[in-house]
Chain A
Amino acid sequence: ETGVTQTPRHLVMGMTNKKSLKCEQHLGHNAMYWYKQSAKKPLELMFVYSLEERVENNSVPSRFSPECPNSSHLFLHLHTLQPEDSALYLCASSPDLLRISGANVLTFGAGSRLTVL
């Protein structure tokens, strides 16, 4: 497999469930990201990891818990979610985090469509 792979593609869960989203990249990239995509809104950056270290938590509620066991895998653990958390969750990777401003080309996965009942 190549690129960025996300599983599951679709997930329906109740507010009391616990589930996880998985992301795997086969590009040899060192940085990985979680974005939330809601209709008619900008892509919202949630978390950023560089070499398995979290470098940004963009004021995301604690009911979302990321995990990056190695530079190829990224998880988003979900628990006690709210209906407004229903969205498309996109994983992305990039070669590195740039320490100076400049081009940061992201490669996105196809996303996990989450519905919270």
Chain B
Amino acid sequence: QQQVKQSPQSLIVQKGGISIINCAYENTAFDYFPWYQQFPGKGPALLIAIRPDVSEKKEGRFTISFNKSAKQFSLHIMDSQPGDSATYFCAASGGTSYGKLTFGQGTILTVHP
């Protein structure tokens, strides 16, 4: 019930391509869906987040698409760059007493020049 399933585990994209990472959740009480980006040797950092009252949120080259009926959300990275190479985690929270985040397994993105 509390799981967030993330795919793929790893992704290789050419520079300029589109990177797509998918997440699915089960708990219908979730109402906040952030994505975190982690570079090697660093901790995860908030990249972008969405609430279920909108179906899409865009910040620069990063877009979250949200499908409430399917209980799925995805991260799209347009015009992927080598500097985007990192591990990406989706997460979800809601329905608990303090907004506890449940994370997906992570996706290692490699963007080739």
A4, A98, A101, A111: residue with the most chain B Cβ atoms closer than 10 Å: A101
- Segment of B60-68, B76-84, B91-99 engaged in the interface with chain A: B91-99
**Among B98, B101, B104, contact of A55 (Cβ-Cβ < 8 Å):** B98
CB distance A40 to B43 under 8 Å? no
- In A31-48, the 8 Å CB interface with B consists of 40-43, 45, 48
Do the beta carbons of A102 and B89 come within 8 Å of each other? Answer: no
Q: Check A106 for interface membership: any CB of B closer than 8 A.
A: yes
A111 to B6, CA, bound (A): 22
Cβ-defined contact, B102 with A101, below 8 A = no
The answer to whether B32 touches A42, judged by C-beta atoms less than 8 angstroms apart, is no
Given contacts A55-B98, A97-B99, contact A42 B41 (CB under 8 A): no
Residues A104 and B99 in contact in the complex (CB < 8 Å), given A40-B9, A41-B105:
yes
State whether A90 touches B101 (Cβ < 8 A): no
The number of chain B residues touching the other chain, given as a range, is: 20 to 34
**B22 → chain A closest CB, angstroms:** 15
Contact B29 A43 (CB under 8 A): no
**Chain A residues, Cβ within 8 Å of B43:** 4, 90, 92, 108-111
Alpha-carbon gap, A104 to B100, bound state (A): 7
Q: Which residues of A contact B88 (CB under 8 A)?
A: none
Bound complex: CA A58 to CA B79 (Å): 40
The B-contacting residues of A in range 86-117, CB under 8 angstroms, are 90, 92, 97-111
> Which residues of A does B touch, CB under 8 Å?
4, 40-43, 45, 48, 50, 55-56, 90, 92, 97-111
Sorted nearest first, the 7 A-B pairs with minimum C-beta distance are A108-B43, A104-B99, A101-B94, A97-B98, A98-B99, A43-B103, A42-B103
